[in-house]
Amino acid sequence: MSTSKYKPSHLATLPETLDPAEYDTSLETRRAQAERLAIRARLKREYLLQYNDPNRRGLIENPALLRWTYARINVYPNFRPTPKNSLLGALFGIGPLIFLYCIIKADRDKKEKLIREGKLDRTFQLSC
């Protein structure tokens, strides 16, 4: 079946068997696969050397994880205020606060109005 009705989306990726790149056997792809395998083998060798070292006492640190941690923490040097950034920041940072303020204020004003008119049932009210 050359065309499939399955459409990938941001929430469900394409299965490997339906991906045409899986069946690509050209020389470039083979070379890229060999390069990836070489990197993978080198990393595995480094890991196993450290893992099976009898003099090793502590944990093996994972440089990829350290880089990931560093990147996730030190985001401010790479930050630059752009229109999109500022808009998102305002929307998610200040928007909910203003929204909640308006809702709570409106609700409390309504209640206050009812209390002043004496319409609210305050028989079991403990606070004043």
Partner 1 sequence: MAVARAGFLGIQWPQRASQNVVPLGAWTASRMTNDMLPASYPRTPEGRAATPKKYNMCVGDYEPYPDDGMRYGNYPKLPDCSQHERNPWYSWDQPDLRLNWGEPTHWHLDMYTRNRVDMSPTPVSWNVTCMQLFSFMAFMTFMFWVGDMYPVYQPVGPKQYACNNLYLERGSDPSKEPESVVHYEI
Contact 20, 6 (CB under 8 A): no
d(CA 116, CA 6): 63
**Shortest CB 2 distance to partner 1, Å:** 17
Our CB check for partner 1 shows the closer of 49 and 104 to be 49
**Shortest CB 52 distance to partner 1, Å:** 13
Burial class (CB in 10 A: 0-12, 13-18, 19+), 14: middle
Q: Does 10 bind partner 1 (CB under 8 A)?
A: yes
d(CA 37, CA 33): 6
Task: Indicate which single residue of 1, 5, 59, 92 sits in contact with partner 1 (rule: CB under 8 A).
Answer: 5
What type of residue sits at position 70?
A: Y
The residues that touch partner 1, with contacts defined as CB under 8 A, are: 5-15, 32, 35-36, 39-40, 43-44, 46-47, 55-58, 60-68, 70-72, 74-82, 84-85
